[in-house]
Structure 1
């Protein structure tokens, strides 16, 4: 039987300092929860710091977005390989905000999913309008 999955998408909230403070407390608070998988999805700027703080804990770290290519002229994007290199474990793909504000299509979402799975990362696939 699959363990329950509890996650928090921080969206565009928390500076690095705030993220470090928050996740430091969170790691201590949730250390007793062994029957569920726990993940946080901080902004990109805090990923490395949060990964470092959660290392050895039961809290995993995910990215809120990813690009499907491994490298190239894609200004402002981050690849699955880059996420893997900093030990991110999950990626949110298909979020309604990405579809609405950035016009991400089902086809592009599919490319992202295949790219992320191919790199051994776990996909949090969002389905629906909200």
Structure 2
């Protein structure tokens, strides 16, 4: 049996913050300081209109450029939407799908999230699927292979080969933008439930290969405790990642070799 390693993943979600000049300055400050993606993967999610420029600006850097949303059709009469084929064409690597803000403000639901996941995979993009479900209702099933509904719905029709290109991000709604993150224990329980769901949908071996991120008021002050949890493999960062110094600090925290999530596991 060969071995594989879950490489930690730090993703900045800028939402609709930053202008073109601010982005250029940020990338100038971080491009040469980001470690190899064999040590820790990094990504920045930004507004669609800046993504092509960001791809060009990071062509000699290991930073992945991430779209914040995508449509479920490759092309067609969908004014204002973004084609997954177009995102792939400009060089985007990952795409956020199902973020709480998309559900709250734009009426996305489990069905549209799944359609977008399949569209992204079809076009060679790697989905980062956001889950904001209340995990407390599953607490009694911690050892009974629960099925976290948003995870199961988002992955409907996703094959064993495709799941390897997917990252799951858990973001409790109450923590997003609040300045108050989940405790490391709360985040770990949620990540464990998600991994149990992946084991039920696929297999325990496959579940151990999928990265699970925590998001919601992540800062350099709480990142270390979060990343020390065995089922948390990275962070999805909002406000703190707008600052290049804090972004680099988070990356340096994630790359520490002592993080338990960075282990070898049997591969099929």
TM-score for the superposition, normalised by structure 2: 0.47
Query: What is the alpha-carbon distance in structure 2 between the residues aligned to residue 79 and residue 32 of structure 1?
Result: 29
The alignment of Structure 1 onto Structure 2 pairs a total of residues equal to 130
**1:6 and 1:39 in contact (8 A); partners too:** yes
**1:117 and 1:123 in contact (8 A); partners too:** yes
Q: Deviations for 1:69-122, whole angstroms, at most 9, x for unmatched residues?
A: 111111111111000010000000000000000000100100000010111111
Higher RCO structure (Cα 8 Å, ≥6 apart): 2
Query: What is the alpha-carbon distance in structure 1 between the residues aligned to residue 87 and residue 69 of structure 2?
Result: 10
Aligned equivalent of 2:32: 28
Aligned equivalent of 1:94: 98
Asked if residue 44 in structure 1 is aligned to residue 48 in structure 2, the reply is yes
Aligned residue among 15, 21, 24 for 1:17 = 21
**1:34 and 1:58 in contact (8 A); partners too:** no
Q: Which runs of 5+ in 2 are unaligned?
A: 133-171, 174-268
Rg larger in structure: 2
Aligned equivalent of 1:69: 73
Query: What is the alpha-carbon distance in structure 2 between the residues aligned to residue 71 and residue 62 of structure 1?
Result: 20
Query: What is the alpha-carbon distance in structure 1 between the residues aligned to residue 43 and residue 77 of structure 2?
Result: 30
Q: Which runs of 5+ in 1 are unaligned?
A: none
**2:67 and 2:92 in contact (8 A); partners too:** yes
* 3-state SS in 2 of match to 1:21: helix
